[in-house]
């Protein structure tokens, strides 16, 4: 089992890293939160990892913190939730927000995650309500911003430009209020002008 990697960050993208450890480049799938926490390419990075074994396929998932990995491991115990969907949940909600949504049985927040339908959200609440207590440092009352698929794509583009997720979400939401039918590239352009004002 590969529990962590510590080496040169060869490349990073919104959903994946390549970390060179002793001359071996490890390809690691990551959530947005981990992307934000990583240093610049060429610098030393430490990534907490989870090795998923399925038939003949080995996939390495990486996280900035042990807490995020524990939430990931807890999520994939839920019937119908695989590693990719668990990673998407972590990209959309912080551990604190997720724990709050599960404790409050907030299906609206959970189904606001792309790929999570009502039945899946109900299973999350049912199967995780007694398991998530220690996964968040504290509960937060801040409600997650609900975005369209186009809005989520715009947030990812802004994060790739080095903008913090919270600022990107606010800017995209502001843009969607004025241009609800805009597509991701247009939303990104408008949001950038808002952030730079």
* 188 plus 176 within the same structural domain: yes
CATH code for the domain of 170: 1.10.8.10
* 72 plus 47 within the same structural domain: no
**7-11: long-range contacts (C-beta < 8 A, 24 or more apart)?**
7/44, 7/45, 8/42, 8/43, 8/44, 8/45, 9/38, 9/39, 9/40, 9/41, 9/42, 9/43, 9/44, 9/45, 10/41, 11/41
Whether residue 146 is predicted with pLDDT greater than 70 in this model: the reply is no
* 14 plus 53 within the same structural domain: yes
Summarize pLDDT for 99-145 with one digit per residue, the tens.
888 988 889 889 888 888 899 999 999 999 888 766 655 444 445 56
Helix then strand count (H, E) for the chain reads 9, 5
Measured distance CA(196)–CA(166) in Å, rounded: 15
Secondary structure string (H, E, C) spanning 83-141: HHHHHHHHHHCCHHHHHHHHHCCCHHHHHCCCCCCHHHHHHHHHHHCCCCCCCCCCCCC
Whether the model pTM is above 0.75: no
pLDDT computed for residue 178 by the predictor: 83
Whether residue 164 is predicted with pLDDT greater than 80 in this model: the reply is no
* 55 plus 75 within the same structural domain: no
* 56 plus 73 within the same structural domain: no
User: Is position 133 within any domain?
Assistant: no
CATH code for the domain of 106: 1.10.150.20
User: Is position 144 within any domain?
Assistant: no
* 71 plus 120 within the same structural domain: yes
pLDDT computed for residue 141 by the predictor: 42
- How many folded domains does the chain comprise? 3
User: Is position 73 within any domain?
Assistant: yes
In the chain, the percentage of residues whose pLDDT exceeds 90 is 33
Whether residue 151 is predicted with pLDDT greater than 90 in this model: the reply is no
User: Is position 89 within any domain?
Assistant: yes
pLDDT computed for residue 12 by the predictor: 92
User: Is position 139 within any domain?
Assistant: no
Range(s) of the domain holding residue 106: 67-128
User: Is position 177 within any domain?
Assistant: yes
User: Is position 92 within any domain?
Assistant: yes
Q: β-strands 57-63, 24-29: how paired?
A: parallel
* 186 plus 162 within the same structural domain: yes
Summarize pLDDT for 37-84 with one digit per residue, the tens.
899 999 999 999 999 988 778 899 999 988 889 889 999 998 889 999
Taking residues 88-107, report their average pLDDT.
86
Taking residues 150-179, report their average pLDDT.
81
Summarize pLDDT for 11-22 with one digit per residue, the tens.
999 899 999 999
Question: Which residue do the tokens 């900035």 mark?
Answer: 64
* 59 plus 72 within the same structural domain: no
* 19 plus 53 within the same structural domain: yes
CATH code for the domain of 28: 2.40.50.140
């Amino acid at each position: 089992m590969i529990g962590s990697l510590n080496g040169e960050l060869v490349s990073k993208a919104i959903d994946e890293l390549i970390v060179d450890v002793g001359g071996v480049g490890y390809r690691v799938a990551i959530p947005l939160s981990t992307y934000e926490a990583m240093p610049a390419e060429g610098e030393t990075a430490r990534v907490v990892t989870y090795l998923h074994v399925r038939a003949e396929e080995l996939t390495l998932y990486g996280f900035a913190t042990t807490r995020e990995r524990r939430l990931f491991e807890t999520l994939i115990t839920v019937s119908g939730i695989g590693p990719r969907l668990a990673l998407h949940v972590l990209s959309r909600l912080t551990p604190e927000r997720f724990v709050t949504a599960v404790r409050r049985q907030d299906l609206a927040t959970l189904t606001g995650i792309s790929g999570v339908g009502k039945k899946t959200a109900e299973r999350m609440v049912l199967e995780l309500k007694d398991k998530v207590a220690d996964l968040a440092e504290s509960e937060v009352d801040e409600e997650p911003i609900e975005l369209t698929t186009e809005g989520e794509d715009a947030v990812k583009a802004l994060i790739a430009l080095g903008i913090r997720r919270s600022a990107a979400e606010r800017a995209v939401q502001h843009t969607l209020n004025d241009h609800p039918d805009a597509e991701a590239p247009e939303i990104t352009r408008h949001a950038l002008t808002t952030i730079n004002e």
